[in-house]
């Protein structure tokens, strides 16, 4: 998964012509480390239909604040510059895929 920053978020996420899944995470977050390999698997299987990126909230505090990300991991899916799905907390692969139905 590609890393995005506060500086690149608009160009890479909001202006993307494909839906974009953004994983808001931090180095110290245990549940974030649990969900990362699951998201990598989903990205490998569905990367043609959706872009998958991650944003480190410690290094990029502006974007999480803008989108009211208060707990991590938070997974937001953006389409047409808007949040269309939000998943908070570590979830199993099947639950994440169910949330993404209709997008991938």
**Catalytic entry in 29, 39, 75, 100:** 29
Q: In what order do the strands lie in the sheet with 51-56?
A: 2-3, 51-56, 20-25, 74-79, 82-88
Nearest partner of 69 among 103, 38, 32, judged by Cα: 32
The verdict on whether 32 is a catalytic residue reads: yes
* CA 92 from centre of chain: 15
**Catalytic entry in 32, 42, 50, 100:** 32
The verdict on whether 17 is a catalytic residue reads: no
Q: For residues 75 and 78, what is the distance between their CA atoms, to the nearest angstrom?
A: 10
Catalytic residue numbers? 29, 32
């Amino acid at each position: 998964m590609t890393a995005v920053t506060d500086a690149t978020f608009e160009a890479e996420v909001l202006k993307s012509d494909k839906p974009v899944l953004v994983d808001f995470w931090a180095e110290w977050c245990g549940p974030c480390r649990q969900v990362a390999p699951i998201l990598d698997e989903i990205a490998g299987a569905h990367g043609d239909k959706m872009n998958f990126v991650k944003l480190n909230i410690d290094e990029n505090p502006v974007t999480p604040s803008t989108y009211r990300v208060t707990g991590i991991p938070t997974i937001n899916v953006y389409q047409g510059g808007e949040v269309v799905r939000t998943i908070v907390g570590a979830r199993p692969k099947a639950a994440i895929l169910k949330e993404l139905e209709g997008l991938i």
